[in-house]
Amino acid sequence: MDTLQSLKKWLPEMIDIRRTIHRYPELGFEEFNTRNMVVEKLKEYGVEQIDTDFAETGVVAVIPGSLGAGKTLGLRADMDALPIQEENEFFHRSCKAGTMHACGHDGHTTMLLYAAKFLAEHRTFKGKAVLIFQPAEEGVGGAESMIQDGVLEKYPLDACYALHNMPGIPEGHFAFKGGAIMASSDRFFVEIVGKSGHAGLPHNTLDPLLVATQIYQGIQALVSRMHSPFEPLVVSVTQLHCGETNNAIAEKARMSGTIRTLSQTVRNKLIEQLENLVNNTANAYGLRAKLSLGAISHPATVNSTLEVNLAINAANSVVGTENVNGECEALLASEDFSYFLEKIPGCYGFVGNGHKSTEEGNLIGLHHKKYDFNDEILPVGAAYFVSLMMQNE
């Protein structure tokens, strides 16, 4: 059976569902309509075991194979949108101001739905498929919440897999990497407390903005002078707030940003260095400062060798070896599927979304206000998930 060709027969249905999800986007933990659609479709496809007890809007579905004992594999798709104002003009553009599917989760959900439809109809595989429709991937803790709610205790997995579309990779091609493929992510916040006063009499003040700029410069030195250039590492200060008027030195300054690395060892070392830099710089000028980390952080997304090889085999069977890259570069973006990979072996990979560009010729990437998922790859992603189950032992 040619799985991909079979799935392509459903492409018009897939496009209708994907574009419906795109028109009505929902932010993390608010995916109630999306969840209801997923449940309705799973029932329509003949999936008997459906569970909505995780992370407020998550859905878990179980499809047993008909060929006897085998591994239980988790197949995961994310469902949430982003707080971005869409600037596309096509019919299926977002109907909700300030919210859009700018990362392709509408497509990921559709691919997994149609993998479910195919698996429920054929069931010619060993073991069980556990389909995880996860809410709140975009930095608000969806994967962690599902795990905390006991999804892995109720549905023990031997391995788990997830797929993300990637603009810039040719349409329908696949890319994988053993080891760390996506970075850890931490949000950091610095508050500096000084002494306010007249801007014309700065010697009577303790200027927190001066200390903030020294800390900012020190962060650049930490990365360039205290870490190996062969260790992927990014520290970006993205906000600096201080004062409300031109003629007064403020009492407080606040900075915030993000840390990205592929190594937990590097991450721990860097956080310790940042704490020392913040505290000691403030002390040197007679001020106080504190570093804190955000409530939501992600570990690095680390693939296991066996599961990467199985993922490559599954992708090869769908699109051919010439269209599968098994040694792609890691990215310093983050992904909360990392929480699943901390607990069980698995593989996170990419499927090419193509090369759509702006009028200026710039690639329209993820989180872009003119991004849209490439509908032609819907059967390709669904076939990959199916292939993982068909080769299951």
Q: Do 249 and 264 belong to one domain?
A: yes
Q: Do 124 and 176 belong to one domain?
A: yes
Write down the residue that tokens 């993982």 correspond to: 388
- On whether the CB atoms of residues 184 and 264 are closer than 8 A, the answer is yes
Q: Do 103 and 47 belong to one domain?
A: yes
Q: Do 124 and 139 belong to one domain?
A: yes
- Model pLDDT, residue 322: 98
Tokens encoding 18: 């994907």
Give the distance, in angstroms, between the CA of residue 234 and the centroid of all CA atoms in the same chain. 17
Q: Do 156 and 7 belong to one domain?
A: yes
DSSP assignment string, 175-228: E--SEEEEE-BEEEEEEEE-B-EETT-GGGSB-HHHHHHHHHHHHHHHHHHSS-
Other C-beta atoms closer than 10 Å to the C-beta of 220 total 11
pTM beyond 0.75, yes or no: yes
- Model pLDDT, residue 113: 98
- Model pLDDT, residue 213: 97
- Model pLDDT, residue 1: 58
Q: What is the CATH number of the domain that holds 192?
A: 3.30.70.360
Residues spanned by the domain of 31: 3-182+299-390
- Model pLDDT, residue 133: 98
Domain count for the chain, please give it.
2
- Model pLDDT, residue 295: 85
Cα separation of 279 and 294, whole Å? 18
pLDDT block averages, 10 residues each, the chain of length 393: 92 98 98 98 98 98 97 98 98 98 98 98 97 96 97 98 98 97 96 97 97 96 92 95 96 97 93 97 98 91 98 98 97 96 98 94 96 98 98 95
User: Where a domain ends, among 267, 293, 319?
Assistant: 293
- On whether the CB atoms of residues 313 and 134 are closer than 8 A, the answer is no
Q: Do 310 and 241 belong to one domain?
A: no
- Model pLDDT, residue 296: 81
Cα separation of 202 and 198, whole Å? 7
